[in-house]
């Protein structure tokens, strides 16, 4: 329903917008956070100017938009968001900015993880992925997607900030290929002149992602499946876990907004001791003191810093999406090998 | 039977160091914050504690921006901001026609606004909210050492200021006319309030720290008429609530700081009804 309105208005406004764009003028794109911004600039290359609302190294869960952000949005030709309730503040901001242009929800069409029945679901998914490969995938995605849309509408009425779905979908390279596809569609709508280039860029980038996926899968495969257990501050790696068959445990929930309580922390420590988990990791956006505390109480040592919801500055090792995935896998593999 | 009781009440603390640290933090805080709270309520300044807790915000925020989640930086920032507000409010009250409460309200609101401005102009707040709402379970060595130092300093200072403070509580106007110590007692006391709030905000968060300061004092007021008795009751009710709060947080999966303050709140309501000094039941009988 929402999508229909969005796409029909998008077509009309896309046409008017592109008519007013000068021949050399670049397309102004707003992306909600740095990882999406990187994907947009990969697809748009020299034809787009990308602005990230939540900057590099900041936490999108608890972002407070400023009037500047609203101004930037009202001047933009394309807004790219992650969706899945990740940016709870975004609908209000778009309303406040009176933005009526094209909106791309990058996660449209991905295979969503529901956090409520997380455990059974995850196990099922593992098997599916390892056994069937990619063929069956599309049908399932389609079904899940429709389910999810109903879900989303329902939740919007209740006003939840984070829904029952895990929004951190970009940690699955499979999903990011769909992200790239969605972004390319959006750019082609807004700027039909460079249609073929966007198409070409997207195809090139997806090829790179294919290679990356293959490489990372072999890297992870060097660790025995039973030993692939790690702890992170907040539950950001559900999709990563599903793709690479690694078990992630976290004292905070899927959002950094949640407050940890003693029962959960104690349960986690017991689990680490019992299952002999080797490594805990800190994140670039989270409060890491709790993780340090947990490391002190168990034999698990701090294996390094993982990049979860934001890229790093260009002088650090995770300045682009591909670098981020490579860095995370390198860090995890190095910590688990010892 | 005994093993079951042990499992229920002792084992969480014996098994997990983070529970021990949290308990240690709460006990240390009870030692230093509750006497300050008792004097605050006796001087009818209960809400001053709340105001000061907000006044600390910009200092802590600046400390956080300068050096991240550093205990020392946030402590120094918080103390400086709190002292500036307390001093300004006190000076305005003493040298102008304005009442102390209105000037304090004005300055703490200014301070709070500056704090919010600093936090939001930095783009995003990498869980500063956690800092503000407390992280009892994440007390690290630095924070514990700091809490203990502040508690020691605060308790010693309170021992020195005890006489003048009692005078100030009994008859501030008389005390002002007979002694020059009045100003020292007043500002020294406000400094102690700030110190304890800063300590409390490491353990419970800025907002919940006030709870551990004021509620035990309010409880004690219903059980004793004597200052010594009030101080003891306040301390024990804070420690008991700290333990029960952690206990509930462990067994019932509740966020820790609010659990502690809510246990205090329940004790307060019980005291309000059954308290021997002016509790509802006894008041009606007599």
Backbone angles phi, psi at B180, to 5 degrees: -80, -5
Q: What is the pLDDT of residues B248-286, one digit of tens each?
A: 888 887 888 888 999 999 999 999 999 888 888 877 555
C-alpha–C-alpha distance, residues A266 and B11, integer Å: 11
C-alpha–C-alpha distance, residues B137 and B250, integer Å: 11
* Highest mean predicted confidence (pLDDT) among B15-24, B85-94, B232-241: B232-241
User: What local confidence, expressed as pLDDT, does residue A127 receive?
Assistant: 40
**Within an 8 Å CB–CB cutoff, is residue A267 touching chain B?**
no
User: What local confidence, expressed as pLDDT, does residue B131 receive?
Assistant: 58
Identify which of A167, A169, A300, A126 has the alpha carbon closest to the alpha carbon of residue A230.
A300
Q: For each successive 10 residues of chain A (338 residues), what is the average pLDDT? A: 47 46 72 90 90 77 75 88 84 83 88 62 40 41 41 37 73 91 92 91 93 92 84 81 84 60 80 81 69 80 81 81 91 84
pTM for the model = 0.69
Of A60, A66, A265, the CB nearest to B18: A265
Q: What is the pLDDT of residues B133-165, one digit of tens each?
A: 666 777 778 888 988 999 999 999 999 999 888
Q: What is the pLDDT of residues B44-98, one digit of tens each?
A: 888 888 888 888 888 888 887 777 667 788 889 889 999 998 888 878 877 777 7
User: What local confidence, expressed as pLDDT, does residue B34 receive?
Assistant: 94
User: What local confidence, expressed as pLDDT, does residue A286 receive?
Assistant: 58
ipTM of the complex: 0.70
User: What local confidence, expressed as pLDDT, does residue B37 receive?
Assistant: 93
CA–CA min distance B260, chain A (Å): 12
CATH of B2-279, one of 2.60.260.20, 3.40.630.10, 1.10.3470.10, 3.40.50.150: 1.10.3470.10
User: What local confidence, expressed as pLDDT, does residue B137 receive?
Assistant: 73
Identify which of B247, B245, B248 has the alpha carbon closest to the alpha carbon of residue B257.
B245
Domains and CATH numbers, chain A: 2-210 (3.40.50.1980), 223-337 (3.40.50.1980)
**Within an 8 Å CB–CB cutoff, is residue A132 touching chain B?**
no
Residues within 8 A of B (CB atoms), A 231-260 only: 256-257, 259-260
Of B21, B124, B253, the CB nearest to A62: B124
pLDDT bucket at B185, cuts 50 / 70 / 90 = confident
C-alpha–C-alpha distance, residues A327 and A323, integer Å: 6
Tokens of B76: 């120094």
Interface of B with A (CB under 8 A): 12, 15-19, 21-22, 69, 120-121, 123-127, 129-131, 133, 135, 137-140, 246, 249-256
- Angle, in degrees to the nearest 10, between helices B100-121 and B46-55: 30
C-alpha–C-alpha distance, residues B182 and B175, integer Å: 6
Could you tell me which residues are beta bridge partners of residue A102?
A78
Residue A279 per-residue DSSP state:
E
User: What local confidence, expressed as pLDDT, does residue A40 receive?
Assistant: 93
How do A301-306 and A247-249 pair as beta strands? unpaired
C-alpha–C-alpha distance, residues A33 and A219, integer Å: 28
Tell me the Cα Rg of chain B.
Answer: 19
Of B15, B127, B253, the CB nearest to A261: B253
User: What local confidence, expressed as pLDDT, does residue A293 receive?
Assistant: 80
Mean pLDDT of B201-230: 87
Best probe of the B interface among A68, A262, A283, A284, by most B CBs < 10 A, is A262
State the CB neighbour count (10 A cutoff) for residue A108: 18
Q: Looking at beta carbons, which residues of chain A come within 8 Å of B22? A: 262
User: What local confidence, expressed as pLDDT, does residue B58 receive?
Assistant: 84
Residue A113 Cα distances to A1, A84, A157, A166, angstroms: 22, 10, 21, 6
CA–CA min distance A232, chain B (Å): 15
Place of tokens 């406000």: B190
Burial class (CB in 10 A: 0-12, 13-18, 19+), B278: middle
Of B69, B253, B255, the CB nearest to A287: B69
Tokens of A302: 């701090």
Of B12, B123, B138, the CB nearest to A266: B12
């Amino acid at each position: 329903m929402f999508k229909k309105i969005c796409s029909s208005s998008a077509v009309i406004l896309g046409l008017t917008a592109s008519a007013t764009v000068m021949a050399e003028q670049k397309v102004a794109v707003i992306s909600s956070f740095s990882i999406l911004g990187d994907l947009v600039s990969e697809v748009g290359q020299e034809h787009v100017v990308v602005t990230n609302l939540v900057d590099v190294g900041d936490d999108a869960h608890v972002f407070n938009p400023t009037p500047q952000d609203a101004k930037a949005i009202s001047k933009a030709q394309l807004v790219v968001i992650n969706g899945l309730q990740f940016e709870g503040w975004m609908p209000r901001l778009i309303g406040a900015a009176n933005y009526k242009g094209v909106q791309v929800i990058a996660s449209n069409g991905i295979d969503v993880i529901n956090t409520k029945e997380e455990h059974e679901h995850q196990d099922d998914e593992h098997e599916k992925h390892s056994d069937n490969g990619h063929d069956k995938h599309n049908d399932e995605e389609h079904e899940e997607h429709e389910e999810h849309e109903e879900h989303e509408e329902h939740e919007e009425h209740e006003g939840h900030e984070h829904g029952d779905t895990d929004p951190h979908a970009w940690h699955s390279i499979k999903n990011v290929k769909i992200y790239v596809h969605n972004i390319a569609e959006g750019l082609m709508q807004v700027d039909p002149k460079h249609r073929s280039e966007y198409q070409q860029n997207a195809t090139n980038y997806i090829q790179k992602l294919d290679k990356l996926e293959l490489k990372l899968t072999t890297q992870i495969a060097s660790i025995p499946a039973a030993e692939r257990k790690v702890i992170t501050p907040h539950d950001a790696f559900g999709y990563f876990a599903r793709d690479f068959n690694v078990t992630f445990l976290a004292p905070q929930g899927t959002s950094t907004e949640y407050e940890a309580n003693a029962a959960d922390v104690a349960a986690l420590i017991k689990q680490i001791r019992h299952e002999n988990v080797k490594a805990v990791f800190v994140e670039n956006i989270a409060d890491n003191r709790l993780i340090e505390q947990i490391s002190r109480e168990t034999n698990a040592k701090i294996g390094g810093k993982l990049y979860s919801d934001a890229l790093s500055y260009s002088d650090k090792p995770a300045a682009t999406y591909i670098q981020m995935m490579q860095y995370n896998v390198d860090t995890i593999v190095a910590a688990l090998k010892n | 039977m005994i093993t079951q009781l042990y499992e229920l009440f002792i084992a969480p603390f014996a098994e997990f160091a983070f529970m021990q640290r949290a308990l240690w933090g709460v006990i240390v805080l009870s030692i230093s914050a509750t006497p300050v709270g008792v004097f605050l309520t006796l001087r009818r300044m209960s809400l001053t504690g709340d105001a000061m807790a907000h006044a600390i915000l910009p200092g802590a925020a600046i400390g956080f921006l300068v050096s991240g989640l550093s205990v020392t930086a946030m402590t120094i920032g918080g103390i400086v901001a709190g002292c500036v507000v307390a001093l300004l409010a006190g000076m305005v009250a003493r040298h102008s026609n304005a009442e102390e409460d209105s000037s304090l309200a004005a300055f703490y609101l200014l301070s709070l606004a500056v704090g919010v401005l600093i936090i939001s102009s930095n783009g995003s707040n990498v869980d500063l909210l956690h800092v503000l709402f407390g992280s009892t379970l994440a007390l690290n060595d630095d924070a514990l050492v700091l809490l203990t130092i502040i508690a020691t300093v605060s308790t010693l200072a309170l021992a020195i200021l005890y006489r003048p403070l009692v005078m100030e509580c009994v008859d501030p106007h008389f005390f002002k006319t007979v002694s020059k110590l009045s100003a020292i007692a007043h500002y020294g006391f406000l400094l102690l309030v700030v110190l304890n709030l800063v300590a409390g905000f490491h353990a419970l968060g800025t907002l919940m720290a006030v709870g551990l300061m004021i509620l035990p004092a309010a409880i004690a007021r219903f059980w004793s008429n004597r200052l010594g008795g009030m101080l003891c009751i306040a301390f024990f009710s804070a420690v008991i609530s700290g333990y029960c709060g952690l206990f509930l947080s462990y067994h019932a999966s509740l966020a820790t700081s609010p659990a502690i303050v809510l246990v205090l709140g329940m004790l307060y309501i019980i005291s309000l009804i059954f308290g021997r000094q002016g509790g509802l039941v006894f008041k009606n009988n007599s």
